[in-house]
Amino acid sequence: MSVSTNDLKNGMALDLPEGLFTVVEFQHVKPGKGGAFVRTKLKNVRSGAVLERTYRADEKLEQAIIDKREMQYLYREGEHFVFMDNETYDQLHVEQAALGDAVKYLKEGDSAVLQMYRSDIVGVDLPAAVELTITETEPGLQGDRSSAGRKPATVETGVIVQVPLFVNTGDRIKVDTRTGEYLTRVS
């Protein structure tokens, strides 16, 4: 589906010869002389690399329609994560590399929104925070409620999170999926 550079919007996905990109920002420029143009900043969906491109006004680009499907993570099978589509109950095997950092926060039974373009997974939307159980950390120090001290703790997905000193093995904590930071202990 073609889209005019005059109709670009932030977040819009474009299928360019170099790959799949999303529009980070754009600016219409009308110089005193010459034709109008559109200056864009585009982000590669796969690599995260940002490139700046200038297009003529009303130049046609190929818009990529990203299909967002809510799926449930069932289990891991080797290097693949197996998801089930919540509507069709179809199972989908997804390579770990396609999920990026999301694998750090996914546990069996969790829901995630998989962004798909044609048959490729191009992104994963997770909740802003997830609850995870600590599987290993140094013993907590009773009475130490200061937020100054931090220690590493391994959670059930295998990722290491810096937590306050009073947090113990077996505690459930809330972790920000965007930054990987400890938010709070969950009772």
Q: What is the pTM of this model?
A: 0.74
The β-bridge relationship of strands 111-117 and 120-125 is antiparallel
Higher pLDDT, 144 or 90: 90
Boundary (domain end) residue, out of 82, 110, 125: 125
Boundary (domain end) residue, out of 62, 86, 114: 62
Instruction: Catalogue the long-range contacts made by 119-123 (C-beta closer than 8 Å, 24 or more residues apart).
Output: 121/94, 122/13, 122/20, 122/45, 122/46, 122/66, 123/45, 123/66
Same domain, 161 and 140: yes
Same domain, 51 and 76: no
Domain tally, the chain: 3
Distance CA 140, CA 163 (A): 10
Domain that holds residue 161: 129-186
CATH at 72: 2.40.50.140
Same domain, 156 and 181: yes
pLDDT in tens, 119-134: 888 889 899 999 999 9
